[in-house]
Structure formats: C-alpha cells, structure tokens
C-alpha cells in the first residue's frame, strides 16, 4: 500500500517536470511594471500629464499687441495737412505679479496631473499582481488536489485488495472509487479555472490571451507586514491622490493671488501715426497711455477674492479628508495582512502537524481493520483543507499587501 505522503511525492515529481516560478517580490515587481507600462488607462493618464506640461509653456507674460488702421474722409487740402491714413499700435502692459501667479497655478496643476497619472498605473499594476496571486493559488490548489487524487488512487487499490480478506469490507472499494471520481472532477474543474485565470492575467498585461504561463508557487511563509503607523506617516509623501490634492491646494492659492492681481488697473501704451498716403509723409505721431479704472467694480473684485480664498480653504480641508480616508484603508490593509499571516503560520505549524499525524495513525488503523473508512476520509479531507487554507491565507496576505502598495507605494 502507498501511504498518503507517497502520493504527494508522485504529484510533486510531475509538477516539477514543468517550469515553476516563485511568486516573490522580484516576480511581482516585473508584473507590476509591465502592467503600468502597457495598460491603456495608465498611458492615457500619462498623456494628460504631458498636456499639463505644455500648459505651463502656454502661460503668457505679454498680451498680443493690437494694430489699427484708419482712413480720413475730408477735403484734399485737409488731408494733405493732417494726413489721411491713421496707423496705431497698442500694447497692454502685464499686471504686476499676474504672470508669476498664473505660472505657479499651471505648475501646480502639472504636478497634480503627474500625481494623478500614477493612480491608474498603480491600479493596473495592482490588478495584474492580484491576478498573478490568484493564478498562483490556483496552481497550489491543483498541486494539492493532484496529490489527493494520487493518494485516493493508491487507497482504492488497497481497498480492492482488502476486500478479498475475510475481515475486509467490500463496500470500501466502491466508496473509494466514488471519492476518486469526485476528486478527479474537482481537479479537472480546477485546471479549467486555471486556464481562465491565466487568460485574465494576459488581458490585464495586454498579451495574447493564449500566452502560456509557468506553474506559479506562493511563498512558503508569509512575508513581513509593515507597521500601520509607519505607513500612515508616509501617506502625505507617497499616496498619489493626497499628493495631487496638496498640489491642487497650491493651485487654489495661486488663484487667490490672481484674484488679487485682477483688481489692479490695466495699463496699455499706444502709438498713433498720421500719414498722407499720396506723399507717404508722416504728418504727426502721438504716444498715449490708457488706464482702466477698476474701483467702480471694487465690490465684484472683492467677491472674486473672497471666493478664491474660500476655495483655497476648502482644498486644504479636502487634503486632510483624503488623508484620513487613506489612513483608514491603510489600517484595514495592514490588519488584514497581519491576520492572514498569523493564520498562515498557524496552519503550517502545530495544526498541520497534528492533522498529518492523525491521518497517518488512522490510515494504519484502517489497514489493520481497526478504523472505519469514514474516519480515514474525514481525516484526509481535514489535512487537505488545512493545507489549502494555509495557501489561501498566504494569497490573502499578498493581496492585502498589494492593496497597501497602491495606498502608500514605494516611490
């Protein structure tokens, strides 16, 4: 008779014949980088950030000059004396501080767009990493189910041999054949699910759906979990949404300064020249200065300034609101990761060892007709469940850490 763990050895040798990749930090980093580089949402966000960079260069210090042309309709003598063609040029002078305020706003908007462009890239990277984790969990499940099928195959053969013994139970072989057929169906379903998960990962990465993937393996032990308070302290420096909102608050501050500058008088300088067209002679030139009188609309300008200040204060509070929301999500992710890690360690330690010893003991008793088949099947299912649950907890922890990576990414 083949013991339970001989089935694991046989299944393991079959799987090692294929290429196997460990789902470690380097592998996940490669997956993330590929998704962030190729996903259309990330590419679109980068183009928007590039557009905001062009907006900085579009800020003008000088307004376009205005050129005027006029003709005098009068008697020839008057036209000869005063000129009959009027050519004028007028230029509005920049308001003090307005160009600087506009440029500061454009630069803040560009930085905000750059930070916002990181959000879809991080989301695409996290989606790809989670799909890879799901695929690795599916491979781990197939490995365990294949071992279970191998063990059941050996037990079916033993049950047939034991049925020939006068003390044996002929129904055990039939029951084991039913269990084997059921587990074989579960293994086939898991293999089909694995194909679907591989195609899903390919779609996320922009690869052809049928691109092959090696067998993936989750880490044997859970990786360390960062401290929640440490990650929360990094939010203003690492979270792209918070950083973008900080830049938007800076843009609101620049708008307040622009509103202050708007209430200044607008000064323009003009030059007008009278020419007699027939002789192309200049008859007179006049240089003038024009100034707007903004005091008539002072209440309107003050209202604009007050509105800009209110928007600036609102933007500042929005930053704190977003920081608290992200902090709550960081706490949730770190707690989930820590709980999953603790359960993974528990299922791979004493719980697993006791279940394995129990299965070995009951199997030996069943062979010697001292234990019923139901006890053996129950203990085998329990051991399988513990091993699968340990793998699930590792996958859950990796998924929680992936969520944490999107909240406070390592720049």
The predicted-structure confidence for 266-301, as pLDDT tens digits, reads as follows: 999 999 888 887 767 788 888 999 998 998 899 999
Span 135-139, mean pLDDT? 95
The predicted-structure confidence for 400-411, as pLDDT tens digits, reads as follows: 999 999 999 986
Three-state secondary-structure class, residue 39: coil
Gyration radius (Cα) of the chain, Å: 38
**Where do runs of H (alpha helix) occur along 206-297?**
228-233, 235-238, 240-262
User: Dihedral (C-alpha) 226, 227, 228, 231: value to the nearest 10 degrees?
Assistant: -60
**Percent of the chain scoring above 90 in pLDDT:** 65
The predicted-structure confidence for 198-242, as pLDDT tens digits, reads as follows: 999 999 999 999 999 999 999 999 999 999 999 999 999 999 999
**Where do runs of H (alpha helix) occur along 164-239?**
170-205, 228-233, 235-238
Q: Is the pLDDT of residue 154 over 90?
A: no
Q: Is the pLDDT of residue 355 over 60?
A: yes
85 alpha-carbon distance from chain centroid: 66
Cα end-to-end distance, the chain, whole Å: 56
Q: Which residues pair with 120 in a beta bridge?
A: none
Domain limits for position 230: 4-407
What is d(CA 96, CA 267) in angstroms, rounded to the nearest whole number?
11
Domain count, the chain: 1
Question: Structure pTM?
Answer: 0.80
CATH code at position 106: 1.20.1600.10
Can you read off the two tokens belonging to residue 207?
A: 């690869």
């Amino acid at each position: 008779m083949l013991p339970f763990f001989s089935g694991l050895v046989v299944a393991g040798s079959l799987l090692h014949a294929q290429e196997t990749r460990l789902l470690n930090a380097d592998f996940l980093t490669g997956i993330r980088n590929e998704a962030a580089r190729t996903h259309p949402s990330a590419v679109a966000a980068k183009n928007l950030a590039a557009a905001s960079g062009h907006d900085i260069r579009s800020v003008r210090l000088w307004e376009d000059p205005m050129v005027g042309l006029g003709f005098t309709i009068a008697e020839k003598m008057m036209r000869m004396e005063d000129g009959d063609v009027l050519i004028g040029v007028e230029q509005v002078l920049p308001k003090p501080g307005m160009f600087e305020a506009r440029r500061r706003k454009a630069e803040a908007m560009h930085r905000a767009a750059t930070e916002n462009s990181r959000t879809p890239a991080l989301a695409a990277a996290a989606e790809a990493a989670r799909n890879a984790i799901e695929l690795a969990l599916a491979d781990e499940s197939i490995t365990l189910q294949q071992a279970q099928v191998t063990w059941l195959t050996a037990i079916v053969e033993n049950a047939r041999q034991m049925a020939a013994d006068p003390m044996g139970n002929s129904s055990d072989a039939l029951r084991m054949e039913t269990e084997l057929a059921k587990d074989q169906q579960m293994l086939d379903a898991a293999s089909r699910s694995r194909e679907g998960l591989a195609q899903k990962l390919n779609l996320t990465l922009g690869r052809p759906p049928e691109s092959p993937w090696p067998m993936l393996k989750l880490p044997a032990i859970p990786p360390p979990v960062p401290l929640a308070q440490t990650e929360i302290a990094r939010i203003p420096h690492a979270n792209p949404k918070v950083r973008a909102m900080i830049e938007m608050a800076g843009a609101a501050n620049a708008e307040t300064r622009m509103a202050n500058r708007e209430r200044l008088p607008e000064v323009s300088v003009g030059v007008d020249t009278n020419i007699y067209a027939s002789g192309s002679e200049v008859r007179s030139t006049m240089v003038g200065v024009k100034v707007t009188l903004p005091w008539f609309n002072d209440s309107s300008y003050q209202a604009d300034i007050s509105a800009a200040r209110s928007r600036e204060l609102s933007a500042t509070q929005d930053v704190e609101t977003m920081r608290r929301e992200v902090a709550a999500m960081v706490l949730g992710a770190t707690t989930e990761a820590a709980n999953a890690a603790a359960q993974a360690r528990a299922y791979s330690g004493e719980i697993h060892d006791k279940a394995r010893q129990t299965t070995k003991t009951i199997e030996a008793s069943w062979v010697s007709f001292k234990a019923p088949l139901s006890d053996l099947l129950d203990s085998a299912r329990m051991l399988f469940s513990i091993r699968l649950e340990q793998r699930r907890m590792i996958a859950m922890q990796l998924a929680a850490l992936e969520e944490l990576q999107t909240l406070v990414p390592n720049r």
